[in-house]
Structure 1
Amino acid sequence: MEITNSFEVPAPTEKVWSYMLDVTKVVVCMPGASLTETIDDTHWKGKLTMKLGPVSLNFAGKVEMAERDDEAHRVVLKASGMEQRGKGAASATVTSKLESMDEGGTRVDVVQDIKVSGQAAQFSRGMMQDVSAKLTKQFAECLKTNISVEEAEAAAIVPEAADANPDAVEPRAPVPQRMEAKPVSGLRLAFGALGSAIARFFKRLFGRKIE
């Protein structure tokens, strides 16, 4: 199944692009994900844990940076893994495309082509889309925070010349803390997805959006 999500980051495109290419930074913002080994500059091994209601999915697998276009700001990651306690498998091709916005900042479009078997296959497309949207939102918030932290840390570095005249240095704002994606409650995801499914049902039934 193909799932598309988008989000905006209030930072220059080159800054966001540099961050997106660093998988060790990106994985910090992915709920339930962790790297276990760096093979080389474009290949990694990792784990992914996701809970949805009573079902806990634990995958171990590999990630590859299959394509990278610095001019178009487009990167393709391919991931595949097997359930550690089951016969299920999952694979995903994730294409991220960055575009500069007229008002400043960067728009990130993410297309995920996902294939699953085993326990994960029991979930409907609608539920998978809802879960993906919620995880993407959390990823985006983490990404925005950590990019702003990097910028604040860079601004907080005192130039060498200031050492000779410390009185000339203006007080700087405290540097905010980096963020890590927290595991998402399976029950909260399940109820969130259920609520979205009910809203879609009534929207189709009455032909209007239900708040």
Structure 2
Amino acid sequence: MISSLIMDISGSSQADETVFNDLGWLEKEIQTWVADDGFSHVNYRMGDELFVLSSIPHNTLFIAIYAKLLWPHNDFPLKCSYHTADIKPPETNPEQWSHPAIKDTRESLENIKKLTMLDFASPDMPDEIEIPLMYATDIINGMTPLQQEVASLRLAGMLQRDIAAALDKTESTVSAHYSKSRGKQLEHIIKFLADYYETDIEVLNGHFTDSLKRRLKL
């Protein structure tokens, strides 16, 4: 099985160097997330795109969600297309791999590039997945930077009092921002998706936590 992901920066023609530097940082972080997979490949391609392969089925959907939570540029949202296919890893350079599954992933990405309501795509995505991913898109893209930090730290398992101490805020401030972030709803969406795809995301969540702490310098 191969799980693929293509992430593209929306509106990148107007982005400055900071945006592309952060995409390079994200590439290095995702490399640590998939390092222990049986097969993996992560590459920041020329321009504004990240290409990810993993041998863990459906892994790339959750990589995409966590990547968007780490992404600090809501003015330039990441558009993400993921897919899992029952195929063997490429025997040659993955960058030159032209399997139909990869082409399908890219075609799905092209279909959502101009949409504002959905940042996640997958070939033949069922309605029961498309609708929660629409909500996830709206939640993540609607967060302020502080709300995004609070929601991400809660998702990483940190207690409210510890978040307050880490961000130098009061507990009431953290509570208010978590409520406004709709982070609880996002947690439910992620759990639903993990149950739907029968995917254990505990290890990936741990990697996300480590990356989040590095980004926030905690």
TM-score using structure 1 length: 0.29
Instruction: State which structure, 1 or 2, has the greater radius of gyration over its C-alpha atoms.
Output: 1
Which protein has greater RCO, CA pairs closer than 8 Å, 6+ apart?
1
Instruction: Identify the structure with the greater strand proportion.
Output: 1
TM-score using structure 2 length: 0.29
Instruction: Identify the structure with the greater helix proportion.
Output: 2
